[in-house]
Amino acid sequence: MNRRDLANKIWHACDIMRRDDGTTGVLEYMEQLSWMIFLKVFEDLEKRFEDEAKFEGRDYEPIIDPKFRWSAWANKSDKELEEYFSEEELNELRASNEHILIAFINRKLFPYLRSLKGTPEKERIASIFQEINGNRMKSPYNLRDVISILDEIDFNKAEDSHVLSQVYEELLLRLGKEGGVAGEFYTPRPVVRLMVKIVDPAIGERVFDPFCGSGGFLVESYKRMLESKELTIEDYELLQYKTFYGQEKKPLPYLFGVMNCIVHGLLHPNIVRKNTLEENIRSVPEAERFEVILTNPPFGGKEGKHIKQNFPYPSSKTEILALQYVMRKLKKDGRCGIVVPEGILFNTSEKAFVNTKRDLLENYNVHTIISLPSGVFANVTASGQGPKTNLVFFTRDGPTKEIWYFDFAGYSEVVLKKKYTKANPVTDEDLAVVYEAWKKREIGEWSWVVPVEEIIENDYDMTARNPNRKEEISYPEPIEIVESITEKEREINALLEELRKALGG
């Protein structure tokens, strides 16, 4: 099967699921496709593990019992699947008209997978399947058609794996566009690749994304390390088991993040499901810090008192807590690249924002800030232009002496003459100029340097204001005005609620 045929088959499987009553939405069919691909991929991996054990003359203990592996049930007839059930259970199924394939998945396969324990691999599989409801497809005939398509993919073939990884990325992007999923779930890959190139993680360093969503930073870092040199067996083992770490709060992004790593060849990502901000970071042991952190944390969220107390500069706003978190989790001389909303840079009125930025400039070296236009996140949000963001890069070897800025927001508007939308997303080619200028720390029409003393004098306002551009009157789009008013109204209501509580109801 050639590349085009394979891609077409996977898209055809998605079309089948969209027609099914249980998986009409992108969230539903992405979940369904993900767990099915996982089991197909994992069987191919187990065969590889078995072959390696046989070659080395040692016994192999299966991670998934052979009778629950993909090939043991996926192509079995209804009659053959009856062997998994007692006669009493079969009578119950016949009475309820529940189809045997769907009953097998929900009553036998998922309970087994959710109960796995005893090794890290088994527990990771259990944690994945504990988050999934089970089979979502209503029609057993549609389900068998999808199984048949996936069964043709051979994940031991590099070509098949490559095509699947590309299609999966496209599906994740579609999830951002159609599923109403926030931008932090899926960071546009050209932005991710630019950040990875600037931070440049190397083999031997641990890479951490505490808000990992669909795993883009881990995947792109893995790909960069693979291409950095001819890997030894030791290098490969190090990358697979002890290099990539992530945390994700929500169940579906967690599933998609693990799956995205696996389809890209990163078979053992150390991704755990937890609310990162629940971790107390007032005192972090050095062993729990990382050489490289790359992340796009959630913006605009609110956290309660039990979360605030975990941070040196308490705030209810997730974006400033996330910045404090990555600062504390970075090793000495470690490197960080983070996506931040514009508000973090210009906010000089809230104590937590000012204190966090003072700490950042005094104890870390903030060497680069890249201003992005708001539309960069348009193609991964359900509506509107998406937030106005900046990319901030720093190392834990401060203090900061000066910051190099690049005004990509202005460059894209004036030079590229582009306004980014869902239909016109940012590309690697667009961002190439930023990386080339960054390598030389070029000073020009779109890039400049600000000494830290100037930022301190301005009450820690770190906003990227291009000194080479005249201030022009810019009128926002009507939808942007509406969204801004809605956001301000939400903030006012939140403040009123806090005031009401402070006054005793």
Where do the domains of the chain lie? Answer: 3-156, 170-463, 476-505
* pLDDT reported for residue 473: 44
Q: Which strands sit side by side in the sheet containing 290-295, from one edge to the other? A: 270-273, 244-248, 207-209, 290-295, 330-341, 389-395, 365-371, 402-407, 447-451
Distance of CA 477 to the CA centre of its chain: 29
pLDDT at 484: 61
DSSP-derived 3-state class of residue 394? strand
| Nearest alpha-carbon partner for 341 in 391, 385, 411 | 391
Alpha helices in 97-243 (DSSP H): 100-104, 110-114, 120-130, 140-151, 158-178, 189-199, 216-228, 233-241
- pLDDT for 386: 73
Name the packing angle between helices 158-178 and 3-19 (round to 10°).
40
pLDDT of amino acid 482: 66
Q: What gap in Å lies between CA 278 and CA 395, rounded to an integer?
A: 24
Q: Would you state the pLDDT for residue 304?
A: 73
C-alpha 129/C-alpha 121 separation (Å) is: 13
Q: What is the CA 232 to chain-centroid distance, rounded?
A: 28
- 170-463 has CATH 3.40.50.150 classification: yes
Percentage of the chain exceeding pLDDT 90: 56
Non-local CB neighbours of 287 within 8 Å, separated by 6+ positions: none
Q: How far is CA 305 from CA 122, 150, 311, 315, 498, in A?
A: 36, 47, 11, 9, 12
Rounded to an integer, what distance in angstroms lies between the CA atom of residue 258 and that of residue 272? 9
Is residue 229 packed enough to be buried (19+ CB in 10 Å), middle (13-18) or exposed (0-12)? exposed
- C-alpha 263/C-alpha 422 separation (Å) is 26
Q: What is the DSSP letter of 108?
A: I
User: Low-confidence residues of the chain, pLDDT below 70?
Assistant: 1-3, 156, 158-159, 161-162, 175-185, 379-384, 471-484, 486-488, 490-491, 494-495, 498, 502, 505
CA gap 497, 139 in Å, rounded? 48
- Beta-bridge partner residues of 208: 245, 293
Q: What are the pLDDT digits (tens) for 66-98? A: 999 999 999 899 999 999 999 999 999 999 999
Spatial separation of the C-alpha atoms in residues 241 and 262, rounded to whole Å: 12
pLDDT at 379 (0 to 100): 61
pLDDT at 464: 94
- The dotted CATH code for 3-156 is 1.20.1260.30
Cis ω on the peptide bond leading into residue 467 (within 30° of 0)? no
Of 119, 123, 129, 109, the C-alpha closest to 61 is 119
Whether the full predicted model's pTM is greater than 0.85, yes or no, is: no
Q: What is the pLDDT of residue 182?
A: 47
Phi, psi angle pair for 205, to nearest 5°: -100, 150
